[in-house]
Amino acid sequence: MEHWTRRQNSLPYPAMATPIELKRRVDIAAGREPADLVLRGGKIVNVLSNEITEGDVAIAGGTIVGIGQYDAKQVDDVSGQFICPGLIDAHVHIESSMLAPPEFARLVSSCGTTAVVTDPHEIANVFGIDGIRYMLAASAEAPIDVYAMLSSCVPASQFESAGATLAAKELEPLLGEARVLGLAEMMNYPGVVHGDDDCLNKIAMTKGRVDGHAPSLLGRDLCAYASTGIASDHECTTIDEAREKLRLGLQIMIREGSQARNLAALLPLVTPATVDRFMFCTDDKDVDDLLEQGQIDHMIRTAIAAGLDPILAVRLGSHAACSYFGLHDLGAVAPARRACLTIVDNLEDFRVRRVYHNGRRVAENGESTCAAVKATGAMSQNSVNIAELTTKHLAIEGATPINVNVICVIEDRIDTERCTESIAPIDGLIHADAKRDLAKIAVIERHHATGRVGLGFVRGFGLQRGAIASTVGHDAHNLVVTGMNDSDIRTAALHLATIGGGFCAVADGKVLADVRLPIAGLMSDVSAHELSEQLRRLHESTKLLGGTLRRPFMALSFLTLSVIGRLKLTDHGLIDVDRFQVVSVVAD
């Protein structure tokens, strides 16, 4: 059995096999002994030489040992199919799938993914170090490799109230974990640019990979950010932004998730000359989109359909991440690489037919062949702890017509626009207005029962009545509710506190539908298909309230993220992200 060791630069490298193991590999590769497994008749997508070749793939002890003609104890016929390296998601928050790690792994393995690099940022904002350790432990026996980057911004900014605060001294002991690769996305880019000690201490501590997160950061500020050694960015939305970051040495993770979709915009910048500077990631993708579209395989299909060379597309979805993270025994179909392989019928449709992880078949014809594992552990405790909540806590007072700042939701984007509207008070209170698509929004601190409630107005959900609520609220994951009246907003919030977290839709004081997320208020303990059915009923109920967004609860969850503009809401109030300060509901 292969095992892992670490070098001083904190990047993972495979330990050398024992002499006995090496002797067996050599004998099999030389044809003196039969392999454990041979994949026969396939066309090999060689991302190292950028060509399609033919030959048997010989596997011993979960490692590829030879390409050519081989005998084996077991032969799997893949005639006419394409043998690709296993796919790798370079940056993902597993929690955003709403699936527990074992079920997430089963689902994405059926899409050809054999490894992910996760930032357990969401659960870390609820449970701190214990949350990170839970994600590592819960994924230890998964049918994919789950690597972790340590969450760098817990909380994401001083304007968010998380369940924990992680400084460098709390994170440093985890750098010794075998599957920890470095420091995750440094979202507090204003802090880095202005020389914040906490940010710089974490970067200096890592002595390895540090991922970036710097939306729209350019010029001298981008130089300041990159000067710290931050090596990547997944927030580019335009070619001009990506080009400037490439010129300054950053590698670009092209993102295609549920809410943020940047593949079409950035793909023209990928050429044979620049391909080594790009990789694919999903960042945040929910269970419905994973089931309907796939994961990295969806990005490869889309890129090929847009005209990218298929071998380069496969390279972006596999070898690119391995090269960046130093995962030198993954990402290619070649000797000494682990037998993590994805088999597809052709390179145009890129439909995954069979998946191997360390030489073991883990998926076939779009379905996992691994048994489901029930999520267990202390993270299933009730994590929703709110103070007393009445309609008075939700009221916005006003004596005369006033102009209010409004958060404007953009479909399939995690940033927002900012606008103002004049609202005339009724009985001294400012209310939502369905005719103008103006809903009230509230963020209620849910970790320490402080009683803090941030209030504002939002446009874009299309609600005509009722309220919808979520305990998924990036990144501090406080309770966020939007609705058309204070009574239903309160009912929705109290219901989520009662069930231990999740989503719900409410109208006229009644809960129309809910989805329970008992693991940190972020993840379900049921199967992907069962969760998807629960979400279908929830979305149908939201449409009955007038909801018009494709993914209303994912859109709602990002309205509390204070580090991506332009206007957001936390329990501290409205956040002007451009100026990085709290502003009043009443417009200037």
DSSP 566-586: SEEEETTEEEETTTTEEE-SB
Beta bridge partners of 573: 570
For residues 120 and 200, give the distance between their C-alpha atoms in angstroms, rounded to a whole number.
Answer: 20
Contact 362, 517 (CB under 8 A): no
> Which residue matches tokens 């956040």?
575
For residues 2 and 435, give the distance between their C-alpha atoms in angstroms, rounded to a whole number.
Answer: 63
Percent of the chain whose pLDDT exceeds 70: 96
For residues 276 and 48, give the distance between their C-alpha atoms in angstroms, rounded to a whole number.
Answer: 11
Please write the tens of the pLDDT for every residue from 185-211: 999 898 999 999 999 999 999 988 999
Nearest to 62 by CA among 333, 282, 339, 320: 339
Other beta carbons within 10 angstroms of residue 84's beta carbon come to 31
128: tokens are 């701190």
Order across the sheet with 467-470: list the strands.
416-423, 402-409, 453-459, 438-444, 479-483, 467-470, 502-507, 510-516
53: tokens are 């070749």
Task: Indicate the DSSP class of residue 429.
Answer: B
Provide the pLDDT for residue 575. Answer: 95
For residues 384 and 480, give the distance between their C-alpha atoms in angstroms, rounded to a whole number.
Answer: 12
Alpha carbon 526 to its chain's center: 19
145: which residues sit within 8 A by CB, 6+ positions away? 114, 115, 116, 179, 330, 340, 357
Residue type (1 letter), 250:
L
Nearest to 476 by CA among 106, 158, 240, 216: 158
> Which residue matches tokens 């050519």?
68
Beta bridge partners of 482: 441, 468
Percent of the chain whose pLDDT exceeds 90: 88
**Taking the alpha carbons of 139, 140, 146, 152 in that order, is the dihedral positive or negative?**
positive
For residues 57 and 75, give the distance between their C-alpha atoms in angstroms, rounded to a whole number.
Answer: 10
Omega before residue 130 within 30° of 0, cis: no
561: tokens are 């993220």
Residue 218 region by backbone torsions, left for phi larger than 0, else alpha for psi between -120 and 50, else beta: beta
Give the chain's residues under pLDDT 70: 1-16, 375-380
> Which residue matches tokens 């109920």?
541
Alpha carbon 30 to its chain's center: 43
For the chain, the domains span 84-379, 381-583
- Fold annotation for 84-379: TIM Barrel (3.20.20)
DSSP 203-241: HHHH-SEEEE--TT--HHHHHHHHTTT--EES---SHHH
Contact 466, 507 (CB under 8 A): yes
